Each structure stands twice: as C-alpha cells, then as structure tokens.
Amino acid sequence: MSERKVLNKYYPPDFDPSKIPKLKLPKDRQYVVRLMAPFNMRCKTCGEYIYKGKKFNARKETVQNEAYLGLPIFRFYIKCTRCLAEITFKTDPENTDYSMEHGATRNFQAEKLLEEEEKRVQKEREDEELNNPMKVLENRTKDSKLEMEVLENLQELKDLNQRQAHVDFEAVLRQHRLSEEERQKQEQEEDERETAALVEEARKRRLLEDSDSEEDAPAPAPPRLALRPKPTAILDEVMGGVPPTRAVGLRLGRLALASHPGPVQSRKEAVPAPWTPGTSSLSQLGAYSDSEDSSGSN
C-alpha cells in the first residue's frame, strides 16, 4: 500500500530539466500585498489625514533602473480612504525609510529635516576645507575655542559639586522643617484672625438687621382699661330692659286693681299705655293714679 503523503517523486532516467519551459513574466509585474502606512500623510486631493499603521491592500512593483548597492527599490500604490485618489511611495534603503512620491504629503518630518540640515552643513564644511586651507585653520580655531569653553563649564560644575560636598544636608533639612512649621503656624494664626473677623462681622450685621426690624414694626397699642358696668345693668337684665321706676309703678297698679275689682271693660281701660323713652317715671305713676280714680267713680 502506497503512502498517503508522498515525499519523493519519481524522475525517469531520460529526465532533462532544461527542456522544461520557463514561465516568462514581465519585469514590471505588480503584486497585491497587504501593508500598513509607514508614516503619517495627508491626501492632496481631499485633505484626508492617513495615520501611520493604517492597513491597505496595496499594489507592489519593482522600480526599473533604480537600485541602491544592488538592493532593488519597490513602489507601492494605495488609495485614499475618502476620495479614492491614488497615492504612491517608495522604499528608501539608503536612509532605511520610505519616501513619498505622489498623491500626498508627509507629516511630522521635523526630525528628518533636522538630520538632513546637519548633513548638508557638514558636507558644505568639508567642501570648503577641501578647497581653502585657511578655512581649515579657521574651523580648527573655532573648534578649539569651543572645546575650551566646554572644559571651563565642566570645571565650574566640578567646583560647585565640591563646595556642595561640605554642606550639612541635615542642618539644611532641619532649617527647612523649622521654616515650614513656622509658615504653617503663621497660616493657622491668619486663618483664626480671619475667622474671628468674619464672626464679628456677622454679629454686627445681625444686630443691624434686628434694629432695622424693630424700627419698621408698628408701635404696640396702649392697654385699654376695662369698662366698668353700670350699677343698674343687672336690674335691666332681670326686668327685661324695663326701667326700674316703671317697674315699681306697674307693681303698684296691679295691687290697686286686685283690691278694687271692676267690670272687664274698665279693667281693659285701666291697662296703662306703653312706656315711651321720653316720659318720666313720675308722670307714669300719675297716669296710673288717674286711671284708678276714674275706675272708682264708675
């Protein structure tokens, strides 16, 4: 029984590998690869920002007639995520970086620009020294002067460190602690004074408010003396509002009628007239006496 996974293949004795046709592919063939944006960029068409690390399905090709020390340079094609404009960038093996080619601008290149500027200045200096011997002497003088300044600064730092080596740090810390305690005590006293001033101000304000409320309030009415009742008020209540003099006259008239009975008609006529507030008690009594005399003559 044969194996399921064959590791060795059979080659006939007349096998000639040169007769196998080779697949001819174009040199500028493009491959679809998955990559991430190597730097921050901004699309020139719509202004969309594309940040470093964003993934794209890119097309990759080999740049023709460009190489660095035998290393091929590759070009990548991506599309903007907003307007689908094509953006291209290439590898830069000389600087171990990528270089923007078309469709966008690279952002945050301050460090790279600084390095390029330093390289340019260094190259210009070398070119000047190569053609001008006096320039070489001048540059050496400047370098030696700068070196002397650096050494002087370094010596000053050493002297400062030596002076500080004899400093009693415990005493310094103790002094700092005492000053800190004094500062805290002073702050506490200031807080107490402010609190007392606020309390005093609140008390004064309360007294002023109380005095204002007393001035605005109406004066209390003086106590009213109780009215003393009339001596005859209780008699008025007993007699039903009839004056006492008239009550006496009525009672005398009733006694006279009881002692001299007469006809019904005279008895009716003998009924006294109703009392009017304008008549006096003596006139009423005279009227009763007249009525009795008339009844007796009858």
Task: Read off the DSSP letter of residue 222.
Answer: P
The answer to whether the Cα torsion of 289, 294, 297, 298 is positive or negative is negative
281 labelled ligand-binding: no
Give the tokens for residue 90: 């290439």
To the question of whether residue 55 is assigned a binding role by annotation, the answer is no
User: What DSSP character marks residue 18?
Assistant: G
**Residue 129, phi-psi category: left (phi > 0), alpha (psi -120 to 50), beta (remainder):** alpha
How wide is the angle at C-alpha 51 spanned by C-alphas 50 and 54, nearest 5°?
90
- Tell me the C-alpha to C-alpha distance, in Å, between residue 139 and each of 125, 129, 136, 142: 9, 9, 5, 5
Contacts of 54 (CB under 8 A, 6+ apart): 36, 37, 81
Q: If 0-12 CB within 10 Å is exposed, 13-18 middle and 19+ buried, where does residue 104 land?
A: buried
Pairwise CA distance, residues 173 & 7, whole Å: 81
80 labeled binding residue: yes
Helix or strand or coil: residue 254? Answer: helix
- Token pair for residue 126? 């070398």
Q: List, in order, residues 6 or more apart from 173 with CB less than 8 Å away.
A: none
Does residue 136 have a known ligand-binding role? Answer: no
Q: What is the 3-state secondary structure (H, E, C) of 33-64?
A: EEEECCCCEEECCCCCEECCCCEEEEEEEEEE
Residue ranges for the known binding site for Zn(2+) are 43, 46, 80, 83
Residue ranges for the known binding site are 43, 46, 80, 83
